[in-house]
Amino acid sequence: MPPVLYLVLYGGNIVMLQDFLARIRNQKSIVGILGLGYVGLPLIRAFTHAATNGGDGGLKCIGFDVDASKVQKLLKGQSYIKHIPSSYIQQLLKQGHFDATTDFSRLKECDALIICVPTPLTKNRDPDMTYVVATAEAISKHLRKGQLIVLESTTYPGTTKEVVLPTLQRSGLKVGTDFLLAYSPEREDPGRTDFDTQTIPKVVGGYDPPSLEAAAALYSCAVKTVVPVESCEIAEAAKILENCYRCINIAFINELKIILDKMGIDVWKVIEAAKTKPFGFHAFYPGPGLGGHCIPIDPFYLSWKAKRYDVTARFIELAGELNVYMPYHVISKVAEVLNEQGKPIKNAKILVLGLAYKKDVDDLRESPSIILIEQLKHRGAKVDYNDPFIPTTHKQREHDLKMTSVALTPTTLKKYDLVLIATDHTQYDYDLIVKHAKAVVDTRNATARVKAGRQKITKA
């Protein structure tokens, strides 16, 4: 729809929209990214990409974070995320396309502000909106006319209008006439090599048509395909649908693993056979439990909101129950294998391979390995871990393992009563692991191609 029609149809501030679009066209826009984590940093790369390739495109970005240590690292040209090279940050700084700060008064310098802060659960598994609210409050203090605010954090449908908007309007400015507002979910999948931030289509929902047009134009500078949708709520719910879909299907395949295991049937071989159907089947894989910042958490944002409408999200609750149980299933397998050696878990020496929640990433948030280690220790086992991407553990909100990765050598492998493969990192030499381990419990089918010593392997 031509912008001028908005004036007639929606009464929005047409001058504001046209100014915003003109600054994008002239590549004068500055994008502020709030929250420089696994989502924020790749987004900066997507916006600045053309600039670092020597092209004319690419927008300037300012990164904002409350964590001064992250800002200091970035300003020194150091990346703390495995798949964003430090050389990239250094090049951006040198070319003047990037700055990072803890000074939120600089929010005013930006044309668009994109919120990429955490949305975890509280101890009672309710949405913890404190980060989103704090960020909206910080923006509200510095909000100026003509800015576009976009929420990217994953959250329940309604957050942009019910939580972010009222906080922003405390500034005295009004959405539609003074500023633009949109929601666009992040679909980042760290460790993926076939898609990245630029090539994953970006769903965008606007508070009103001018906000949608502004947000779609903004993201067109960073991603190849923008998918405009009718409202913020549709964009919010689309993200939750994607994550619930994964959570529920993973729970189902985990349950099937337990059932088939009792029947002596290998679930991984069943999946390979089913996968040959060219339509109507999408393979999901079992594991030691759900991990990461999204799949174990986001569905509960929806079930929480559903309660307000007197509806129980039964699929989500059931999937949560099954997935939470998986590390305990693995521990019962560990106990069985040790039992065959005549050993109890107490005082058994166990090496857990892989601390990250999935292969080839350095992210241990919500990782089932943490539960496995804590529970094995709780039962008296002597546990070490190896993870090539996580040399030492750091304190998390709920956990503090205080451990350091041990070297993975034939000598160290031989020291343990059992090796538990929790994450199937590509760089592991599974032949070597099976050769030198006394017993292996494999939760990922990582040893599928190992030929020698298969009698030592138990799948869990």
Active site residues: 294
Dihedral sign, Cα of residue 118, residue 121, residue 126, residue 128: negative
Nearest to 176 by CA among 31, 7, 33, 21: 7
Q: Which of 64/219 has CB closer to ligand NAD? A: 64
Site string for ligand NAD, 63-102 (x = CB under 6 A): -xxxx--x--------------------------------
Q: Which of 186/442 has CB closer to ligand NAD? A: 186
Q: How far is CA 37 from the centre of its chain?
A: 10
Indicate which single residue of 178, 186, 424, 442 sits in contact with ligand NAD (rule: CB under 6 A): 186
From residue 416, alpha-carbon distances to 386, 431, 460 in Å are 13, 17, 18
Q: Which of 92/441 has CB closer to ligand NAD? A: 92
Site string for ligand NAD, 410-439 (x = CB under 6 A): ------------------------------
Q: Which of 100/420 has CB closer to ligand NAD? A: 100
Of 185-193, 313-321, 328-336, 440-448: span binding ligand NAD (CB under 6 A): 185-193
Q: Which two tokens stand for residue 218?
A: 């903004």
Q: Per-residue b/e over 65-77, b at no fewer than 16 CB within 10 Å?
A: bbeeebbebbeee
Please tell me whether residue 367 binds ligand NAD under the rule CB under 6 A: no
Are the C-beta atoms of residues 18 and 25 closer than 8 Å to each other? no
- CA-to-CA distance for 322 and 279, rounded, in angstroms? 27
Q: What is the largest CA-CA distance in the chain?
A: 81
- CA-to-CA distance for 250 and 230, rounded, in angstroms? 30
- Window 123 to 152, contacts with ligand NAD (CB under 6 A): 131, 134-135, 138
Please tell me whether residue 362 binds ligand NAD under the rule CB under 6 A: no
Backbone angles phi, psi at 31, to 5 degrees: -105, 125
Are the C-beta atoms of residues 323 and 366 closer than 8 Å to each other? no
Burial classification of residue 343, based on how many CB atoms lie within 10 Å of its CB (0-12 exposed, 13-18 middle, 19 or more buried) = middle
Q: Which two tokens stand for residue 101?
A: 């700060």
- CA-to-CA distance for 160 and 184, rounded, in angstroms? 10
By beta-carbon distance, which residue lies closest to ligand NAD?
37
Are the C-beta atoms of residues 173 and 136 closer than 8 Å to each other? no
What is the smallest separation between the CB atom of 119 and ligand NAD, expressed in angstroms?
A: 4
- Window 43 to 62, contacts with ligand NAD (CB under 6 A): none
What is the smallest separation between the CB atom of 251 and ligand NAD, expressed in angstroms?
A: 19
What is the smallest separation between the CB atom of 348 and ligand NAD, expressed in angstroms?
A: 34
Name, in order, each residue with C-beta under 8 angstroms of 165's C-beta and a sequence gap of 6 or more.
175, 181, 207
Indicate which single residue of 153, 393, 423, 445 sits in contact with ligand NAD (rule: CB under 6 A): 153
Please tell me whether residue 190 binds ligand NAD under the rule CB under 6 A: yes
Strand segments, DSSP code E, in 123-197 are: 148-151, 180-183
What is the smallest separation between the CB atom of 158 and ligand NAD, expressed in angstroms?
A: 15
Q: Which of 66/270 has CB closer to ligand NAD? A: 66
Q: Which of 77/120 has CB closer to ligand NAD? A: 120
What is the smallest separation between the CB atom of 258 and ligand NAD, expressed in angstroms?
A: 28
Site string for ligand NAD, 282-321 (x = CB under 6 A): -----------xx---------------------------
Please tell me whether residue 197 binds ligand NAD under the rule CB under 6 A: no
What is the smallest separation between the CB atom of 35 and ligand NAD, expressed in angstroms?
A: 3
Residues that bind ligand NAD (CB under 6 A): 34-40, 64-67, 70, 116-119, 131, 134-135, 138, 153-154, 186, 188, 190, 293-294
